[in-house]
Structure 1
């Protein structure tokens, strides 16, 4: 697969383009690319540019061709609302959610979240997750980078405006996913922490209009649940069906 790099700030097609230092370092020091090697650049504004590496070092440049209108976004716009999880679980969730087509990831602090974040520590962790999202786009072929939102409380998130239906995953809930009507626009899925949502949180979600949802009789881990929902939604309403995607 041709290496892909995210270059924010806008590309200049059909030109010799100066690579950002981080991209140049990764291309030369990590991937060991050489002058003349092919690469693909994207700036998050849609489409991508194929190019050839012209120079390396501090002034690394690539000769770009025209912008190609290549999009690999799903027809279903899913925001994953993920309760904070401990260890490297959030890294895993962000990476795989981007690969599975989520358009945004919103971290929320739940009552039973083991990981507690606030202030500068929270800002640094969100910036880290955003870079994971960038790397996942480079790997998976996406040309639009999903945003990772600032950490907020569940109450604050639910008090905000809802763009389309919101589903809250809860073991034992009634209402199979396959019986849900496909929404006309975006939707959100709320995933609880390691200890699950508290009764008070589920009540708060219900009052905010969230629809309860269960995925079969088994209890899934927090790092599994959101990814399973994303895969199921892509199969039902997104771009998983069809031989052309195999």
Structure 2
């Protein structure tokens, strides 16, 4: 049986005893039905992993004895910042989950003219919390020991106007060059993925003014969730850790 991996939000130390978070305790005790003496693997986002033995399972929580740290760096050498216009339903959740598995470093949800999703106030805050949980679960599953940054949702123009030393790419079905034709000497990339209806003409012009390069993935028009994952994979193959 694979040893469960659990994210612990607070910094961990060697040879200590801690209580797992409520969500983690519920998963360990009620979902996995683990008992005293069994082991889990903890990570705190520092690229270290800690073996831990369960020493107490009660209604109020789960207590574990933390062992010694082991350094495990599974991060890509490519720093990839994904700007994803928010898609409908489960598509956004799917994109976030899979982009984490593929090694994205930063994710910023975006609002554009053709976004099709209206979120604000409490609804947006709850959605951000849900996306954060998806990111953590994806790291637990795929073995990443750093948690990618989820930034607050923002408007497309504001995101495009941010200062960034990296290469700026915009996926566009009428672009004249593909990823393989780019000179990817820079290991920092800001990748823009538009909405299901595409960016407006004004938005495309704006991205050009902000220094974005239009690139093409192939002869077929891909859905927004397919576009994001295909582009991330292609970039990781070119200058990341996939090959």
3-state SS of paired residue (1:2): coil
The answer as to whether partners of 1:51 and 1:63 remain within 8 angstroms in 2 is yes
- Alignment partners' CA distance in 1, 2:196 and 2:203: 14
- Alignment partners' CA distance in 1, 2:171 and 2:148: 22
The answer as to whether partners of 1:82 and 1:190 remain within 8 angstroms in 2 is yes
Greater displacement, 12-21 / 105-114: 12-21
Residues 145-190 of structure 1, C-alpha deviation per residue, up to 9 Å, x if partnerless?
Answer: 1121111111111121124111000002011211212233321110
Residues 19-53 of structure 1, C-alpha deviation per residue, up to 9 Å, x if partnerless?
Answer: 22221111011111122222100111221101221
The answer as to whether partners of 1:109 and 1:154 remain within 8 angstroms in 2 is yes
Partner of residue 81, structure 1: 83
Gaps of 5+ in 2: none
- Correspondence 1:13 to 2:33: no
3-state SS of paired residue (1:17): strand
- Write out aligned runs for 1:63-82 (5 A): 63-82=65-84
The answer as to whether partners of 2:17 and 2:64 remain within 8 angstroms in 1 is yes
**CA RMSD for the aligned pairs?**
1.2
- Write out aligned runs for 1:211-230 (5 A): 211-230=213-232
Gaps of 5+ in 1: 242-246
More strand by share: 2
- Alignment partners' CA distance in 1, 2:110 and 2:185: 24
- Alignment partners' CA distance in 1, 2:105 and 2:140: 15
- Alignment partners' CA distance in 2, 1:44 and 1:80: 20
Partner of residue 202, structure 1: 204
- Alignment partners' CA distance in 1, 2:223 and 2:186: 30
- Alignment partners' CA distance in 1, 2:24 and 2:110: 31
3-state SS of paired residue (1:60): strand
Matched residue pairs, number? 241
- Write out aligned runs for 1:19-34 (5 A): 19-34=20-35
Shift of 1:224: 0.8
- Write out aligned runs for 1:33-112 (5 A): 33-57=34-58, 58-112=60-114
Partner of residue 244, structure 1: none
- Alignment partners' CA distance in 1, 2:61 and 2:160: 47
The answer as to whether partners of 1:165 and 1:183 remain within 8 angstroms in 2 is no
Residues 97-138 of structure 1, C-alpha deviation per residue, up to 9 Å, x if partnerless?
Answer: 101100111111011111122222212211110111011001
TM-score by length of 1: 0.94
